[in-house]
Amino acid sequence: MERILIIRYGEISLKGLNRPYFENTLLKNIKTAVKHIGDMNIYKAHGRIYIELGDHDDEEIIEVVINVFGIVSVSVAYIFEADMDKICEIALEHAKECLEKDDIKTFKVEAKRANKKFPVKSPEISRMVGGYILKNTDDLVVDVHNPDVTINIEVRDKAYVYSRKIPGFGGMPYKTSGKAMLLLSGGIDSPVAGWLVAKRGVEIEAIHYHSYPFTSDRAKEKVLELARILSRYCGRIRVHSVNLLNIQKAINENCRLEEMTILSRRFMMKIAERVAMDRKCKALITGESIGQVASQTIESLNVTNASVNIPVFRPLIAMDKMDIIKISKTIDTYETSILPFEDCCTVFLPDRPVTKPRLDKILKSEELLDVEGLINDAINEMEAIIIKSED
């Protein structure tokens, strides 16, 4: 019997005249995501996208597809010519499959007749199919309020029967909302921030700062692994790796130690902005959350913002740590993020960093540095690495 994967999307359906653009982008993203599995027919119809499964492994395809942004849920369905006797027969067969797989005792039938030419209306389809299943099974009873399984029947151009609805992440199709540069550290926060913005359809590149040889190659590999995990959702990601050590040394030699954190942060933002503009990114993304560390007080954020002229997206700004950790576990970055490898922020770390910096004082400190020379040297020595999930 022919099986098909039904793919549902949400926000896209509200896009009016722009809807075809978002649908076509989502369709393209799905085709790209499953390309490595093999050839299959993927098409859109009736406000949904369908994949003809053929002999392919259902679970393998589902595991990939639910990570594609824009998808609300998926279901494996039987598809066949719409005929009432056939609907009853297939629904019964599917109910028996559910009995074999799970410890279920109750069920209900939900029918939707999108094809108004079909002679049996939705409520009657539900009653007829429910009665047929009850008559031909010994271990099932109807529970319309809290069933163990719901047998769904849809009548469109053909009939579809399914039960499971596997949730996706929703959001908007990737690469439909411009492009931004993610400041990616080895911590918990920044990968989550990048994932959340990518979920809104923004294409991301990443920039990572290290202080080699004061920080190890293992710390760098940790960040690249985080980018690799993000690429499961975003496809290939370009990571720009920048050595911040000479900048940190210059700050340490010429400025007050308690300003190390905020001055380093301003350099990071300035460099990220330069690279972002060169790569046609329209915004920066950070994992900052109010009050989490010294560089994330309102005063520090104001001073940091003053270093750049493009928008800075901070999707975690009002989230507490447990909320962020929960998402990181969901998207599988948490275990990598907590690996105990140092990052550039630990180099020349002051005991008491300034928490309420004043912009005028920070600008005076920067006058003691060759800001442009340091930025240019760091960018000239920058390394670009392309990361893909299958690497």
Binding residues: 183-184, 208-209, 265, 287, 296
- Binding-site residues for ATP sit at 183-184, 208-209, 265, 287, 296
3-state secondary structure the chain: CCEEEEEEECHHHHCHHHHHHHHHHHHHHHHHHHHHHCCCCEEEECCEEEEECCCCCHHHHHHHHCCCCCEEEEEEEEEECCCHHHHHHHHHHHHHHHHHHCCCCEEEEEEEECCCCCCCCHHHHHHHHHHHHHHCCCCCEECCCCCCEEEEEEECCCEEEECCCEECCCCCCCCCCCEEEEECCCCCHHHHHHHHHHHCCCEEEEEEEECCCCCCHHHHHHHHHHHHHHHHHHCCEEEEEEECHHHHHHHHHHCCHHHHHHHHHHHHHHHHHHHHHHCCCCEEECCCCCCCCHHHCHHHHHHHHCCCCCCEECCCCCCCHHHHHHHHHHCCCHHHHCCCCCCHHHCCCCCCCCCCCCHHHHHHHHCCCCHHHHHHHHHHCCEEEEECCCC
